[in-house]
Amino acid sequence: MKAYWEGALDIGFRRRLHCRQVPADRWLPMLHRRGCMAATVRPDPATEQRLDQLAQLSGHTKAFYLRQLNKAGLNNLEDPCLGAALTKCRRLGQERIHSLDDVVSELGLNPAAL
């Protein structure tokens, strides 16, 4: 099986082996050692020009700034999406809501210290 993949990968790198071409009965070797997901980003020309200028002026790569944008964007998406999921669970009765008085009494806290 190793010989199969050595040949397939050699051909695949030359003509970009797609997932649809991977036989179902063969195991797929790990191609990305760092465990990172590869993604393609196609910004519009104005955004790409801004990234080029930023990268050139700062000394960082465009990939660095795309990773920073990805992190910031994910942080901005998480709060509303997770909030919506929590709201849905509350409506379905899958999530309990606790009042402050209940929490204070259940944990034996001093209400004056809050």
Residue-by-residue pLDDT tens, the chain, 114 positions: 555 555 555 554 444 444 445 555 555 555 545 556 777 888 899 999 999 999 999 999 998 998 898 888 888 888 888 888 888 988 998 888 888 889 899 999 888 877
Residue type, 42: R
pLDDT at site 23: 53
- Residue 90, SS3? helix
Residue type, 73: G
pTM above 0.75, yes or no: no
pLDDT at site 16: 47
Give the closest residue to 70 by CA, choosing from 110, 37, 93: 37
